[in-house]
Structure 1
Amino acid sequence: MPIPAPNLYPPFNIVRLSHVDFAVTDLTASRAFYVDTLGLQVTDESDAAIYLRAMEERGHHCLVLRKADAAHAGALSFKVFDEDQLDRAHDWFAGRGHAVRWVERPYQGRTLATHDCFGMPIEFYFRMDRLPPIHQSYALYRGVKPLRIDHFNVFSPDVDKAVGFYNEIGFRVTEYTEDEESKRLWAAWTHRKGGVHDIAFTNGLGPRLHHTAFWVPTPLNIIDLLDLMSTTGYVANIERGPGRHGISNAFFLYILDPDGHRIEIYCSDYQTVDPDLEAIKWDLKDPQRQTLWGAPAPRSWFELGSVFDGVEPVASGLGASPIIAP
């Protein structure tokens, strides 16, 4: 099935991805991982939640950790261009039968809560509290020196349907993987902000959150993080990498937090601002698709994901599979 033509005039204007909520079972352990090891900055914390931002971010948070009895992912959040876009989004989702409600979120203005075509919770806002810049406060840089949140990747039971839905609200495909036999999409990378992706879709049991990615300055920061994790009790949390993706050309590392939420450390992809930029197609069986150097991903990378609270994932009808490491 061909990818849809870019929708350059969507019903409302999404600027970029913004933040994600993780329910975690031990805030102390999660704080040690995200703050002391990765290097995210605490902007507020209590016995119930910790708010974090990366070094280049002016908004109050890009990640919220909430204490819970069981780990899961909360809503994926996106920033829109202005207040009017929130009303446009409300009417668009409501007009298509999606549940919509205005919710109160700390440090944010009006926030719209709804869901996508698979019931995955998504939220939209315009205003978030601004904090003083810290990108030149070099004494604060530690861990992998995370600069900003970069993208989400979600398991989808039907990638063609996901791409069609998000295309309607303005996400443009940059790269995609097609199963040559069925001509269906196995994965797709879509963006709003001008990088390779704000949200990507991977075939599998879903909707589930596959990973959240943070952009870092250089590949050497990833090497430093590996040395740190391997000598501070986190060697078992290193899942895949380091390496360079064929898709996106980015340097990467995948790690798991104490509750199994997957984090990608990411840098060096390319700019995709031009509205007429052609999407790049990859064959599912191309060994350089996953990793330019040819190394396949482990089985856990295709099977493990964070469930969304209250959302029952369903199996994909596409049985095709890429190359998987033994």
Structure 2
Amino acid sequence: MPIPAPNLNPPFNIVRLSHVELKVTDLAWSRAYYVDTLGLQVTHEDASTIYLRAMEERGHHCMILRQSAEASVGVLGFKVWSEDDLDRAAHWFTARSLPFAWSERPFMGRVLATRDPWGVPLEFYARMDRLPPIHQQYRLYRGVKPLRIDHFNLFSSNVDRAVEFYGDMGFRVTEYTADEETGRTWAAWMHRKGGVHDIAFTNGTGPRLHHTAFWVPTPLNIIDLLDLMSTTGYLANIERGPGRHGISNAFFLYIRDKDGHRTEIYCSDYQTCDPDLEPIRWDLKDPQRQTLWGAPAPRSWFELGSVFDGATLADSDLKATPIIAP
């Protein structure tokens, strides 16, 4: 299917992705991993929950770690422009017979909770508590020195339909992978904030969260993290990389926590804010779309992901096969 034309006048104005809630089975282990090793900053914690932000972020949190009996993803969060956009979003989801509810989330005020057609739990808000800037408090920088949350990537059982739905909300495609044999889209990268993506969809059993990505200053920060993880007991948590993607041109590393939640450490993509920017098309059989240089992705990278609370999994009927490391 062809990529739909971008919706440059969406029904409500999404500014960017904002935050993710991860359910974890060992909160103390997760704190040591995300805070002490990766370098995210704690903004609030209690016996069951830890709120985190990255170094450039002024909002209260970009990640919530919540103690749970089973690992899962509680919600993906997005910031909208205004309170009026929240009301317009409620009307838009209602018109599509999708569930929604208003709630008051800690540190966020009024929040619209809903789901996409595949059951992915989403929430939208206009105002989050603001914290003092810390980007020049260099004594706080540690680990990989994460600057900000960058994107989500989801497994989708039908990428073409996901692109259509999120495109209607105003997400614009920057790059995509086409399966030339069927004419269908195997993966697509979509943005609101002017980078390569705020959200991406990859063909597979879904919906599941493939990864959450954090932007870091330079490739050297990734090398430093690899040295740190390999000598502090986290060698087995390194899944893929370092390397450079063809799609997005990003320098990357993929790591997985104790519960299997995957994080991409990411830098060096490009600006995409022009409204008439044409999407870049890649052939699924092109080995450099996935890895411009570096080892091919392992099988786990294509098969393992985090389930969403309340979502029912469905297998994809697109059986095209990407390049997998032996």
TM beyond 0.5: yes
SS in 1 for 2:297: coil
Q: Is the 8 A contact 1:171 1:190 kept in 2?
A: yes
Residue 108 of structure 2: aligned partner: 108
1:14 corresponds to which letter in structure 2?
A: I
Give the Cα–Cα distance (whole angstroms) in 1 for the partners of residues 321 and 193 of structure 2.
30
State the match for 1:204 in structure 2.
204
Where do 5+ consecutive residues of structure 1 fail to align? none
CA contact (8 A) 2:241 2:294 kept: no
Runs of at least 4 residues of structure 1 off by over 6 A?
none
Deviation, 1:191, is 0.1
What does 1:88-167 align with in structure 2 at a 5 Å threshold? 88-167=88-167
Q: Which residue of 1 aligns with 2:227?
A: 227
The alignment partner of 2:249 has SS state of coil
What letter is aligned with 2:98?
A: H
8 Å contact 1:151–1:212 — kept in the other structure?
yes
Once the two structures are superposed, what CA deviation does each residue of 1:164-201 show, in whole Å capped at 9, x if it has no partner?
A: 00000000000000000000000000000000000000
Cα deviation for residue 295 of structure 1 reads: 3.0
Distance 1:243 1:160 in 2: 28
Deviations 1:47-72 (A, max 9, x none): 11000000000000000000000000
Moved more, 158-167 or 111-120: 111-120
Written as runs of structure 1 = structure 2, the 5 A alignment for 1:1-40 is: 1-40=1-40
Counterpart for residue 319 of structure 1: 319
**Shift in Å, 1:294:** 5.8
Aligned twin of 1:243: 243
In the alignment, residue 195 of structure 1 is paired with which amino acid? G
1:102-135 C-alpha deviation (Å, 9 max, x unpaired): 0121000110000112111111000000000000
Partner SS for 1:243: strand
Q: Distance in 2 between matches of 1:117 and 1:194?
A: 25
Q: Distance in 2 between matches of 1:271 and 1:130?
A: 26
Maintained 8 Å contact 1:215/1:267: yes
Residue ranges of structure 2 left out of the alignment (5+ in a row): none
Q: What is the deviation of 1:257?
A: 1.0
1:177 equivalent to 2:177? Answer yes
Instruction: Provide the residue aligned with 2:297 in structure 1.
Output: 297
Say whether the 8 Å CA contact 1:288–1:294 is kept in structure 2: no
d(CA) in 2 for partners of 1:293, 1:266: 15
Q: Which amino acid is the alignment partner of residue 45 of structure 1?
A: E
SS of equivalent residue, structure 2 residue 187: strand
Please name the residue that 1:215 is paired with.
215
TM-score under structure 1 normalisation? 0.99
Counterpart position of 1:268: 268
Equivalent residues of 1:287, 1:295 under 8 A apart = no
Aligned Cα root-mean-square deviation (Å) = 0.6
Taking the aligned partners of 1:296 and 1:233, their CA distance within structure 2 comes to 25
Paired AA for residue 94 in structure 1: T
Q: Tell me the matched-pair count.
A: 326
